[in-house]
Structure formats: C-alpha cells, structure tokens
C-alpha cells in the first residue's frame, strides 16, 4: 500500500515538473518573440527610415527603366511629364490613360534641376508638345528660377502642378506657382493642393506619396485638365 502511494506521489511530481517546464519554455518563446518583433519607438522609426530609403532607391532605378522602355521618340506632339518621386508613383496610371506618354521622374528632384532635365530631353528629341511639371515636393524655389524654366518652353503647353507636402515650404512653393504661372499665357495650374483636400486616405503616412487609389486620382486629374485645354 505504501509503495503504491509512493509511486503515485512520484508520478504526480513528474507531471508537475513537466507542466512547469512547458510553462517556462512557453514564457521564453513569447518573451523572445516580443523582443524580436516589438522594438522601441526609436527602433521603429529607424526601420521605417531604412525601408523608405530602400524603396526610394528602388523606385528611382525602376523609374528610369520605365522611362527608357516607354518613350516614343517620334511622338513630339505628345505629353511629357517631369517630376520627383510623387510622379514616379503615378507613372503607371498615366501610362495607362495616355499611351505613349513620357514620364521622367526622379526621387529627390527639385525645381532647380528641371531646367537641365528639359534641355536634355529637348536634345534627345523627347520633349512633347504638352509639358507637365510636378516639382516642389523636395524644397522651395524662387520666382526667377521658375520663370527661367518656363521661358524654355515658350512653344509648349505647360501644366504646373502645385504641391501637398507637410513641410514648411509647402505654402512658399504653391504661392510661387500662383504668382508666376499667370505671367505665361501657355501655362495652366493643376491645383493638386485643393483637389487633395480632405483625402487623407489617398496618402501614405508621410502625407506626400500616394496609395494606388490616390495615384489613380492624381493621374485622372492631369488627364482631365489636359483635355479641358485641348
């Protein structure tokens, strides 16, 4: 009788040890998983910054490839779009709406670089009769810089897109475009700032780059404005 009782106690102890061991292993796995997948706020920001940089590098490379693949050098009466990373994201939708369009987008591009881009495209015979300019996301520019750029396009129909960017230069960029564009009879403003009002769901967290539905809307706004001026 005593031996049977002793066996039961031993068996019970083994079960208790096994349960405790499993519990400790489970706690260890959960703790390890939390440490691996839930970084501090600082780590999250660092990861986001790294991912954004990688995406920008990839977008810039793919954007250049898309331009070289889709350019129709004979279509000099077509539409040429010059912009920064915002327009790179919109490019597939523009190409669908306007086959043969030339989209020259580059991550980080500013208005001051637009003049060089225009001259290069002109030299290569790739500048269409309608020029869409989307520059201002990455910094401000002076009235004279914009005037100099528009003066290169006196024989073109120009469409200037203003900006929505949560930076201190947003108002400066939009005011400069509003001031200078009326001086050129061949220039039309595409008011992206007004059109995107209240449409936060169109943007990624940075408030600048567009989700697919936002990019589609952006492209349709460009097409609508061009059609109105034909």
Helix (H/G/I), strand (E/B), else coil: 107: coil
Closest CA to 133 of 147, 213, 196, 69: 147
Rg (the chain; Cα; Å): 28
Q: Give 181's contacts (C-beta < 8 A, 6+ positions apart).
A: 150, 160, 187, 188, 189
**Two tokens at 215?**
């990019």
How many angstroms separate the CA atoms of 150 and 114, rounded? 10
> Rounded to the nearest 5°, which phi and psi values hold at 63?
-60, -45
> Rounded to the nearest 5°, which phi and psi values hold at 228?
-65, -25
Buried b (16+ CB within 10 A) or exposed e, 189-199: bbbbbebbeee
How many angstroms separate the CA atoms of 84 and 104, rounded? 8
Just list the catalytic residues: 85, 206, 209
Beta bridge partners of 131: 80, 158
- What length does the chain have? 230
């Amino acid at each position: 009788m005593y031996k049977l009782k002793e066996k039961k106690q031993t068996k019970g102890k083994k079960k208790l040890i096994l349960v405790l061991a499993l519990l400790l292993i489970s706690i260890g796995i959960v703790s390890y998983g939390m440490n691996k997948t839930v970084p501090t706020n600082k780590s999250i920001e660092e990861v986001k910054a790294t991912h954004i940089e990688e995406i920008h590098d990839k977008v810039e490379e793919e954007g250049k490839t898309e331009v070289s693949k889709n350019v129709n050098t004979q279509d000099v009466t077509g539409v040429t779009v010059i912009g920064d990373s915002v327009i790179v994201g919109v490019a597939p939708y523009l190409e669908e709406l306007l086959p043969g369009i030339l989209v020259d987008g580059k991550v980080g591009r500013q208005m001051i670089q637009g003049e060089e881009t225009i001259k290069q495209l002109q030299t290569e015979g790739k500048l269409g009769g309608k020029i869409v300019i989307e520059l201002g996301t990455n910094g401000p520019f002076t009235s004279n810089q914009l005037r100099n750029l528009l003066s290169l396009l006196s024989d073109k129909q120009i469409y200037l897109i203003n900006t929505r960017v949560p930076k201190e230069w947003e108002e400066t960029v939009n005011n400069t475009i509003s001031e200078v564009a009326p001086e050129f009879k061949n220039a039309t403003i595409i008011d992206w700032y007004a059109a995107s009002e209240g449409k936060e769901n169109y943007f990624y967290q940075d408030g600048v780059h567009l989700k697919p539905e936002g990019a589609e809307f952006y492209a349709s706004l460009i097409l609508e404005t061009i059609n109105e001026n034909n």
